[in-house]
Structure formats: C-alpha cells, structure tokens
C-alpha cells in the first residue's frame, strides 16, 4: 500500500487505574492515506489521546501499555522497532503537537534553541544552517519578527504564538505525518481560525498527512478529509467527511450532530443524548452506547456490534445496520 | 424592550488591576480589565456577554455581584447601588443574587456531602427551618435532573455535567432573582452541554430568573440569550438583540468573531475574516480604537480617536468610526 502513510490494526491500549484495568483503545483500526487529514473525534475520555500516544510510543509503561495490534508507518511496524529507532522517527518522520503548548516547551530554553534542537539531532546540519532554517520556520508559521522571537523565552509569548512555535518545531524535519492533539482547544476562536488556516495550507504545500484530534465537530468539518468517531475506546463510525456529516449512521454520531448548537440555526430546544459516557472500568458485553440509545434493541444489550462497511464508503458499528452489509 | 425599570444597570463601570511585572515583580502596570462599560439587564431576560479570554467578562460578572470591589462607576440592582450597600443590606441581598462557576468542583468542599452543600446556604441565610431542608434539596435536585440518592454522595463521585447540575441546584435553591453564570457549559462535552443548556432554558421559562450569561462560545450564547454585549479588551464594542447581532453584525470585531466560529457543515463555503495577530497585552492596550491593531478596516483616525459607543438604532450600540 504505497499510498498509505499510517495503518493502525487492531490496536489495544490499556491503562491501569484505581478502578481496574481499562481498555482506553479497544481494537481500533484505521489508516491515513498520503496527503490526507483524518480527524479523530469523540467526547472526553473516549481514547483519542491514547491513540496518539500509542502511535508516538509515549505510553508510560508504569501506567499502561499496548497489549495488541500493529502500527504500520510507511510499512514498518512501530511496535517492533527498537527504542533508538523509534526516537529517530519521532520528531523526524512523525511529529506531534500537544494540546497545552506551554507544558511541552522548556521554559528555560529560547524558542530558537528549541526549534534548532530537532534539526541538529535529526538532520545533522551545522548550527549556522539550523538557525537559518529555524528563522524560516518562524516566518512560515506566520509570526514575523523572526529574530526577536528566536531569542525569546516561552513565557514571553501568547498561547497562539506558542502553538505556532509548536507547529514550527513539529515541521522542522518535514515530517510525513503530523499528529495534532486538540491543537486549538485552549485558544480563542479568532486564534483558532488562524491556526486551522495555517495547518490547512501547510498540509497542501507539503503534501503532509495529518491525524487531527478534536472534540469539536465544527473543527472536523473545516479540516477533515476523513472522520473517525470514537466512543468508550471503540471506533463506532467512520467515513469521508461530507458523507458522514450529511448522512450520519450511528445513533451516537447523529445525536452529537443534533445536540450541538449551531450559529444562525437556533432552535427552541436542543436535542440531548440522555445519560453519560459509561465507566470504562465496568463495561459489560453489549453495545457501549446501549444505555443511552433511543433505538436500543434486545441484541444490543447482549453483544457488541462489529464495525462493518456500508456501500457508500462509510463504516459503522451498530446492530441497526447489520442486514445492510449482508446484501 | 419594556418600559419597566431594568433589574440591573451597569453605569460606566471601571475595574483596574495593578499588575506586577518584570523580573523582580516591581514594575507595576495597570490592567484596565473593565474600562467604562455600561449596559442594562431587563427583568426576566438573559443577557449574554461574549469576548475572547481576558476581555473582562468574568470581572464584570463579579463586579455586579460585588464579589470584588470596583474602581469607578455604579451597579444598580433594582435601583439600589450595590457597591454602596451596608453590610447588613448586602447580607439581605446576597441570596437574591447568585453566581454559577465554570468549574463547580473548585467551589464544592470535597468533604461535604452534596445534599448538605446544596442545603447549607438555605440555613446560612435563615431561609427555612432545619427539618424542611431535605425536602427543598430534593426538589431542586429533581429540577436539575439529579435524584434524591445523590444527596448522600461526595463531589468527587460526580461527573462534570452532574457537578454543574449541583452548582445550578445550589444557586436556585435560594430562589434568586438574578444569576451570573460564568462559562457554565464551557468545560462540558457536547452531549452533556446540551443537557445543561436545556436546563437553563427550563429555568428561564419556569422561574422568571434574570441571567447574565458569560461565554466565549457564540453558538451557545445565540441559543440562550435575548440581548448580547461584545467585549474586547475591557471595552464594549457592540450591544444589541440576538437577531441584530447574529444576522447583521455591524462592528468589525463582531463580524470577525462570528466568522471564526467553525460550523459543522463540510460543504459550506464561507467568506472568512481571519484576524491578523494576537489580542494585545491588556496592560498596554492600543491607542484610539483598541481593536485597530487587528481591524481589517482600520484608518489613521482609528489609531488616535476613541470611537464613541453610540446608539445606531433602537437598543443597538456600536463603537466604531465606520458605523
Ligand atoms: N496515564 C493514565 N493512567 C490511567 N488512565 C488513563 C491515563 N491516561 C488516560 N487514561 C484513561 O484512558 C481513557 C482514555 O483517555 P484519553 O486521554 O485517551 O481520552 P481523550 O479521548 O483524549 O479525552 P480528552 O478529550 O479529555 O482529551 C480515559 O478513561 C482516561 O481516564
Ligand atoms: N484578580 C485579578 N488580578 C489581576 N488581574 C486580573 C484579576 N482578574 C482578572 N484580571 C485581568 O483582567 C483582565 C480581564 O480578565 P477576566 O475578567 O477574567 O476576563 P475574561 O473572563 O473575559 O476571560 C485580564 O487581563 C486578566 O488578566
Ligand atoms: S447497536 Fe443498538 S444500542 Fe448500539 S447504537 Fe446501535 S441500535 Fe443503539
Ligand atoms: S473604529 Fe476603526 S479600528 Fe475600530 S473597529 Fe472601527 S474601523 Fe476598525
Ligand atoms: Mg485527550
Ligand atoms: Mg472568565
């Protein structure tokens, strides 16, 4: 599959919590074609960040681990790589941007130093060359005043600027895959619009693939080519962005789209999904959404539906669609 | 709106904070968190305040409820100047004016059962007898979508949405006339957010409470508020009815804010106004119109002359030289 950058197969990632072992990522499979943006969307705690951390090899062995699956990046299984091989890939071929830029930058190093670091580590270029590239990157992410920014420290910059710096660092070694975990959630809408615009244009200029994690369906509609909806550690629906928004299939996806207030489409009452997300430590063999689903049937309480292909390119895990796929 | 006197009148409100800066915390500069803001809230309406972080929304909310002192101006509640009331008068007013926080967890004592936390204010204010508390708590829990058995649980046993219900229950049990809700749904997931928004709609309908609803989310504000004020760096840029603001925004900042909100429709092609640059440092706001450093329409005049906050049509105010 020369056209696939990332192929995640049957990923199972567990965390050890006070309540017991939980499957933060439970048999998740998806792939990212070259040059495409795949959005992972779902509510808090459904396992989005756990997917990203698994791909990056950043699950801390003391609190959890990957128990099953393959993560093929350009054909290589990341789970079989040695530590130093993985480190070589990280920040080079695959980069990640985190939700809180402040916590992932070193407060006592200059911005310039932090952009130069991966360049010098991975590209083996001179300090002078690295500085030139760092200044270009600062310009690229639209800050301007590159020299001044180069010499400043994280606390001297705003949240929006820091997020741009994180993007600059992530792009330093021209990665083929950029993983962005809620890159705009902590930012104001006007700054969010700037960052999304930047990510979109960078992706086009560089033919880069992107895994963008968000809980905001508005952001998904703006940037995604393909959407994956997660619920309680499982992928419950996925599909090309236009189809998925036009014709969502899973009752949870439908509910999410209806429950969100949308500007200039005011309704007297919002649709609500009753109840709340289940506790991952006490799941039973059933559709995990069954407690909240208006269309729940007897079988939903007994057996977890598998994810199946529909004929329009969408995939859904719901008993309502089981016959469709056998046609 | 109505000819009736407004419940809340904010007149030329200013709140300045002395901000310590620099390496040794000695260079003191002043942050004008709220800088000459005026508006009214009518009885029974929900007034929305929107703006980016640091624009002064929470500071206005806290100033109205006298949870902090003010630098200048007046806040009238039912005609009385809140910041001039004596301690005894303030104690009488307290139960009538309530605050709902973004994160109710931080305002709940982890060692006190939720039922007691909700009921204690009733006793503190001497609003009912001890033996009546439990039934009143049960009643508000039900209104807020919780159950009687929740009374004996501790805050950490609740989800974010449930804690927000507890925060709301605690505010409404006192039968307040006025509630400031500061980003009450911002920390919640979509499916839970919709439940809490509907709870606010229900309270508006059934209880005739007047609300100041603070949020940076323009779609939530459109849903719940009948009139809205748009803040930027402590200054009101535009104020009008929901219909006026959302279907025909006049101020360039309102336009930019609205156009920045992502809409969940991938087929929609919109003309976007993408603002350049960041929100300026509030300790050193731009001269003239505070928005001029990011405004796509700024002229020389905007850099020097502060635009007047003027009424451009009935009930609608805009601070911009172009309008
Ligand atoms: N280090 C950890 N130790 C134990 N449990 C964890 C850890 N990190 C995450 N979890 C649990 O794993 C599940 C998935 O968490 P994850 O962070 O992936 O969610 P998420 O979808 O990214 O949520 P959010 O939108 O809040 O960021 C949750 O139940 C969470 O509580
Ligand atoms: N207690 C305080 N001390 C000093 N500065 C404050 C304090 N509270 C708020 N500010 C400042 O006042 C401005 C407005 O803050 P705030 O009202 O919290 O904004 P918003 O709620 O719109 O995000 C900000 O610049 C903020 O840093
Ligand atoms: S499988 Fe059943 S319970 Fe689950 S979403 Fe489908 S209809 Fe609802
Ligand atoms: S006064 Fe000038 S800078 Fe301010 S909003 Fe109007 S046009 Fe823009
Ligand atoms: Mg996360
Ligand atoms: Mg605030």
Q: For residue B223, which residues of chain A lie inside 8 Å, CB to CB?
A: 261, 266-267, 270
Contact with chain B for residue A39, Cβ under 8 A: no
For residue A77, what are the contacts with CB-CB under 8 A and spacing of at least 6? A70, A71
**pLDDT > 70: percent of chain A:** 98
Predicted confidence at residue B22, as pLDDT, reads: 54
Predicted confidence at residue A221, as pLDDT, reads: 96
- Is B1 within a domain? no
**How many domains does chain B contain in total?**
1
Which of A193, A256, A269 is nearest residue B274 as measured by Cβ atoms? A193
Predicted confidence at residue B28, as pLDDT, reads: 67
Contact with chain B for residue A101, Cβ under 8 A: no
Question: Is pLDDT at A153 greater than 90 in this prediction?
Answer: yes
pLDDT band at B19 (very low <50, low <70, confident <90, very high): low
**pLDDT > 90: percent of chain B:** 75
CATH of the domain at B151: 3.40.50.300
CA distance B42 to A301: 50
- Is B323 within a domain? no
pLDDT band at B135 (very low <50, low <70, confident <90, very high): very high
- Is A230 within a domain? yes
Query: Which ligand does the CA of A181 lie closest to?
Result: 5
CA B57 to centroid of ligand 6, rounded, Å: 6
Per-residue CA distances from A219 to A199, B49, B318 (Å): 12, 23, 30
Average pLDDT estimate for A58-81: 94
Average pLDDT estimate for A161-185: 91
Average pLDDT estimate for B226-237: 97
Per-residue CA distances from A299 to A62, A303, B211, B322 (Å): 38, 6, 46, 63
Give the DSSP letter of residue A90.
Answer: B
Predicted confidence at residue A326, as pLDDT, reads: 44
Atom 5, ligand 2: which residue's CA is nearest? B17
Average pLDDT estimate for A272-292: 92
Atom of ligand 1 nearest to the CA of A63: 3
Give the DSSP letter of residue A47.
Answer: S
Give the DSSP letter of residue B295.
Answer: -
pLDDT band at B26 (very low <50, low <70, confident <90, very high): low
Q: What residue of A is the nearest CA neighbor of B158?
A: A276
Q: For residue B189, which residues of chain A lie inside 8 Å, CB to CB?
A: 43-44, 215, 277
Q: What predicted TM-score, i.e. pTM, was given to this entire model?
A: 0.91
Contact with chain B for residue A186, Cβ under 8 A: no
- Is A158 within a domain? no
**How many domains does chain A contain in total?**
1
- Is B3 within a domain? no
Long-range contacts at B85-91 (CB < 8 A, ≥ 24 apart): B90/B66
Atom of ligand 3 nearest to the CA of A299: 2
Q: Which domain holds residue A256?
A: 4-93+173-326
Q: Quick: pLDDT tens for A74-116.
A: 999 999 999 899 988 988 899 999 877 777 889 999 999 999 9
- Is B233 within a domain? yes
B121 CA to centre of own chain: 22
Predicted confidence at residue B193, as pLDDT, reads: 92
Mutate to test the interface with A, among B163, B246, B266, B277 (most CBs of A within 10 A): B266
Task: Look at the block and give the residue holding tokens 């046993």.
Answer: B157
Structure tokens, B162: 């449930």
Structure tokens, A246: 């036009």
Radius of gyration (C-alpha) of chain B in whole angstroms? 21
- Is A168 within a domain? no
User: Count of CB contacts below 8 A, A vs B?
Assistant: 129
Atom of ligand 2 nearest to the CA of B57: 22
Predicted confidence at residue A65, as pLDDT, reads: 95
Contact with chain B for residue A218, Cβ under 8 A: yes
Q: Which domain holds residue B116?
A: 8-318
- Is A136 within a domain? no
Task: Write out residues with Cβ below 6 Å of ligand 1.
Answer: A 15, 17, 22, 24, 42, 44-50, 63-64, 215, 280
Q: Quick: pLDDT tens for A9-52.
A: 999 999 998 888 999 999 999 999 999 999 999 998 899 999 99
CA-based nearest distance B58→chain A, Å: 16
Average pLDDT estimate for B219-229: 97
CATH of the domain at A259: 3.40.50.300
Contact with chain B for residue A201, Cβ under 8 A: no
Question: Any idea how long chain A is?
Answer: 327
Structure tokens, A245: 């928004």
Cα diameter, chain A: 68
Q: Quick: pLDDT tens for B32-58.
A: 999 999 999 999 999 999 999 889 999
């Amino acid at each position: 599959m020369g056209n696939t950058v990332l192929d995640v197969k049957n990923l199972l990632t567990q965390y050890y919590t006070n309540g017991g072992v939980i499957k933060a990522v439970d048999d998740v499979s998806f792939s990212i074609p070259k040059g495409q943006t795949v959005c992972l969307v779902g509510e808090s705690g459904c396992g989005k960040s756990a997917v990203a951390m698994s791909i990056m090899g950043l699950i801390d062995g003391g609190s959890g681990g990957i128990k099953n699956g393959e993560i093929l990046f350009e054909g290589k299984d990341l789970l079989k790589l040695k530590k130093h091989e993985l480190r070589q890939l990280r920040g080079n071929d695959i980069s990640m941007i985190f939700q809180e830029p402040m916590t992932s930058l070193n407060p006592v190093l200059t911005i310039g130093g932090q952009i130069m670091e991966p360049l010098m580590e991975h590209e083996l270029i001179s300090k002078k060359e690295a500085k030139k590239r760092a200044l270009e990157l600062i310009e690229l992410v639209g800050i301007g005043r590159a020299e001044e920014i180069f010499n400043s420290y994280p606390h001297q910059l705003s949240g929006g600027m820091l997020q741009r710096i994180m993007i600059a660092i992530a792009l330093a070694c021209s990665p083929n895959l950029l993983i962005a975990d809620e890159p705009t959630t902590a930012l104001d809408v006007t700054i969010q619009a700037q960052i999304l615009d930047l990510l979109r244009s960078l992706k086009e200029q560089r033919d880069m693939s992107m895994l963008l994690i968000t809980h905001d369906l508005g952001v998904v509609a703006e940037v995604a080519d393909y959407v994956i909806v997660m619920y309680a550690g499982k992928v419950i629906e996925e599909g090309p962005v236009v189809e998925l928004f036009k014709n969502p299939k899973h009752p949870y996806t439908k509910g999410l789209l209806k429950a969100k207030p949308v500007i200039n489409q005011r309704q007297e009452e919002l649709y609500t999904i009753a109840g709340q997300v289940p506790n991952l430590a006490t799941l039973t063999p059933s559709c995990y959404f069954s407690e909240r689903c208006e269309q729940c049937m007897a079988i939903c309480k007994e057996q977890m539906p598998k994810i199946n292909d529909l004929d329009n390119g969408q995939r859904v895990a719901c008993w309502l669609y089981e016959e469709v796929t056998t046609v | 709106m109505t000819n009736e006197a407004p419940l809340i009148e904010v007149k030329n409100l200013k709140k300045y904070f002395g901000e310590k800066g620099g390496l040794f915390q000695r260079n003191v500069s002043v942050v004008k968190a709220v800088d000459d803001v005026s508006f009214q809230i009518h009885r029974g309406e929900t007034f929305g305040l929107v703006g980016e972080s640091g624009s002064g929304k929470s500071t206005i909310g806290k100033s109205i409820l006298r949870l902090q002192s003010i630098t200048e101006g007046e806040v009238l509640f039912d005609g009385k100047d809140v910041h001039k009331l004596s301690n005894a008068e303030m104690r009488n007013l307290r139960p009538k004016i309530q605050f709902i926080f973004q994160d109710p967890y931080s305002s709940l004592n982890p060692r006190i059962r939720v039922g007691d936390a909700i009921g204690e204010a009733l006793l503190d204010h001497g609003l009912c007898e001890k033996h009546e508390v439990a039934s009143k708590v049960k009643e508000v829990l039900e209104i807020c979508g919780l159950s009687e058995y929740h009374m004996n649980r501790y805050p950490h046993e609740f989800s974010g949405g449930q804690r927000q219900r507890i925060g709301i229950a605690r505010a409404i049990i006192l039968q307040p006339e006025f509630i400031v809700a500061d980003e009450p749904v911002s920390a919640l997931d979509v499916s839970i957010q919709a439940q809490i928004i509907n709870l606010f709609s229900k309270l508006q309908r059934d209880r005739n409470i007047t609300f100041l609803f603070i949020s940076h989310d323009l779609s939530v504000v459109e849903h719940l508020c009948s009139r809205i004020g748009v803040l930027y760096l402590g200054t009101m840029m535009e104020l009008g009815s929901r219909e006026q603001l959302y279907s025909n925004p006049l101020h360039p900042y309102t336009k930019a804010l609205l156009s920045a909100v992502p809409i969940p429709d991938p087929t929609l092609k919109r003309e976007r106004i993408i603002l350049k640059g960041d929100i300026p440092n509030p300790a050193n706001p731009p001269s003239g119109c505070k928005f001029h450093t990011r405004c796509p329409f700024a002229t020389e005049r905007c850099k020097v002359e502060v635009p007047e906050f003027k009424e451009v049509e009935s009930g609608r105010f805009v601070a911009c030289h172009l309008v």
